[in-house]
């Protein structure tokens, strides 16, 4: 594993030492076809009455397709093309990293015990997640009600489908005895030796999936409905409304592709969770950015108290407002592009393959940089409608703390990913060749970051 001094020496070698960018685990085409599928469905949902009239279909008074069921259909419209592209164009199921050997056809009797043990572990894990949902009242109010109702409806089908899927997959896996197997064996064979580290990985991976899948599903309907239901005359009323609608459209891309990513953690798609972040500080840094643990909106790090956004401060200056809106749209576009680059592999706190294309060719953390810049540009925390300069200074300091949280998230993610030689190669390449690290090197006179967190050799990955 390269150390910091080696990285500095390599960066100092300059342009002559620049090498080819490491290959990305996901092709650009995956995100593009997902975007096409999503936007196609969005147009159908917006103009459903007009389309029905053109085709001679009696649409009645149903109006636009802006309900929660239609929102979930839009997730499918986004996800299905990405799956098809991954399988038939990129042929990801053939990647060695899937852990699958398609030439294997073990007899059923050889893997049946393994599969049944894994099913016990899987169903017990799902039961623990369901118990967590049921215990926390937070999940049964507000926007989370939709998530819980949807998951309750699909749960019996997941239980049913998991049986043939596990029986089929284990016959082809090079090593079917994974963390799920270890947990199942611990349950059904008390006292038997098990791999505790693998069980820890299994729980971390499913904790990520359980927490973030519920969150993503909860915000899909509202995000989708706001884009489908609003009239274009309202959108085009002024630069502020146009900017807001466009920003919401870009967040739609982020939300949908991320939702697909959290759902499709499947080995045949090479989208499984290789490792979940084993460092507690990484979980703290991530979870305080999401409900119910969020410290920003309404919490101690709320930087908008007594403030107003760019639309308020630039009202009456349409040209400046249009320029400001374009800047914000550009920043959010980079953020959405960063999510799109992951295709079906987006996920917080996990390693599911190293992404090096798109905005990741410019910086290692395009989403965090663009998101935080958009908050500074959009909220203008130093300007307030009440509380005077003291409140403005307080909001500015709090937003600086929020940005510091995201800086720490980036560092703890690197600490996790640097255990993989593939990410080491990408980190070193980016430090020498990517636009943002090179810019920072020129501005600061440092050829390597001030802080680089090395992974703990005692932890190690469990693939």
Per-residue pLDDT of the chain (463 residues; tens, 9 = 90+): 444 444 434 444 444 345 899 999 999 999 999 999 999 999 999 999 999 999 999 998 899 999 999 999 999 999 999 999 999 999 999 999 999 999 999 999 999 999 999 999 999 999 999 999 999 999 999 999 999 999 999 999 999 999 999 999 999 999 999 999 999 999 999 999 999 999 999 999 999 999 999 999 999 999 999 999 999 999 999 999 999 999 999 999 999 999 999 999 999 999 999 999 999 999 999 999 999 999 999 999 999 999 999 999 999 999 999 999 999 999 999 999 999 999 999 999 999 999 999 999 999 999 999 999 999 999 999 999 999 999 999 999 999 999 999 999 999 999 999 999 999 999 999 999 999 999 999 999 998 898 999 999 877 655 4
Contact assessment for residue 26 and residue 353, using Cβ atoms and an 8 Å cutoff: yes
CA atoms in the 13 A half-sphere facing the CB of 117: 23
Rounded Cα distance, 357 and 339, in Å: 12
H helical segments located in 16-67: 28-46, 48-54
H helical segments located in 100-194: 108-135, 144-170, 179-188
Rounded Cα distance, 454 and 462, in Å: 17
Q: Is the peptide bond before 292 cis (omega within 30 degrees of 0)?
A: yes
Rounded Cα distance, 416 and 389, in Å: 41
Query: Which tokens hold the place of 457?
Result: 């050799």
Rounded Cα distance, 180 and 192, in Å: 15
Contact assessment for residue 214 and residue 134, using Cβ atoms and an 8 Å cutoff: no
Query: Which tokens hold the place of 284?
Result: 């703290």
Query: Which tokens hold the place of 40?
Result: 């196609």
**pTM for this structure?**
0.94
Q: Whats the size of the chain, residue-wise?
A: 463
């Amino acid at each position: 594993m390269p150390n910091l001094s080696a990285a500095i020496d390599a960066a100092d070698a300059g342009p002559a030492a620049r090498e080819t960018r490491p290959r990305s685990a996901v092709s650009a085409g995956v995100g593009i076809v997902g975007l096409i599928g999503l936007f196609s469905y969005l147009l159908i949902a917006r103009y459903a009455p007009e389309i029905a009239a053109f085709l001679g279909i009696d649409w009645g008074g149903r109006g636009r397709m802006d309900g929660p069921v239609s929102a979930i259909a839009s997730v499918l419209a986004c996800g299905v093309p990405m799956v098809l592209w991954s399988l038939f164009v990129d042929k990801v199921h053939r990647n060695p990293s899937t852990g699958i050997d398609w030439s294997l056809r073990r007899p059923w009797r050889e893997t049946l015990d393994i599969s049944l043990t894994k099913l016990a572990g899987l169903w017990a894990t799902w039961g623990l997640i369901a118990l967590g949902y049921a215990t926390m009242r937070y999940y049964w109010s507000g926007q989370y009600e939709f998530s819980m109702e949807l998951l309750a409806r699909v749960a019996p089908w997941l239980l049913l489908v998991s049986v043939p899927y596990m029986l089929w997959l284990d016959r082809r896996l090079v090593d079917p005895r994974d963390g799920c197997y270890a947990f199942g064996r611990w349950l059904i064979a008390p006292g038997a030796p098990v791999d505790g580290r693998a069980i820890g990985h299994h729980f971390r991976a499913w904790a990520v999936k359980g927490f973030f899948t519920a969150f993503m599903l909860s915000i899909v309907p509202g995000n989708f409905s706001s884009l489908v239901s609003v009239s274009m005359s309202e959108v085009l009323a002024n630069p502020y409304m146009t900017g807001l609608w466009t920003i919401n459209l870009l967040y739609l891309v982020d939300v949908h592709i991320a939702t697909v990513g959290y759902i499709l953690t499947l080995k045949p798609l090479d989208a499984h969770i290789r490792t979940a972040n084993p460092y507690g500080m990484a979980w703290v840094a991530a979870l305080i950015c999401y409900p119910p643990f969020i410290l920003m909106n309404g919490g101690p790090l709320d930087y908008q108290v007594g403030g107003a956004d760019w639309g308020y401060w630039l009202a009456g200056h349409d040209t400046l407002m249009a320029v400001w809106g374009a800047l914000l749209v550009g920043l959010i576009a980079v953020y959405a592009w960063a999510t799109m680059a992951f295709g079906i592999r987006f996920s917080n706190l996990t390693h599911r393959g190293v992404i090096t294309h798109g905005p990741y060719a410019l910086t290692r953390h395009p989403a965090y940089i663009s998101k935080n810049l958009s908050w500074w540009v959009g909220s203008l925390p130093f300007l307030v409608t009440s509380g005077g300069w003291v409140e403005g200074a307080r909001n500015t300091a709090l937003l600086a703390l929020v940005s510091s949280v995201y800086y720490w998230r980036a560092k703890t993610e690197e600490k996790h990913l640097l255990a993989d030689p593939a990410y080491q190669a990408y980190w070193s390449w980016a430090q020498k060749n990517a636009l943002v690290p090179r810019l920072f090197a020129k501005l600061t006179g440092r050829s390597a970051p001030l802080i680089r967190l090395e992974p703990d050799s005692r932890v190690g990955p469990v693939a």
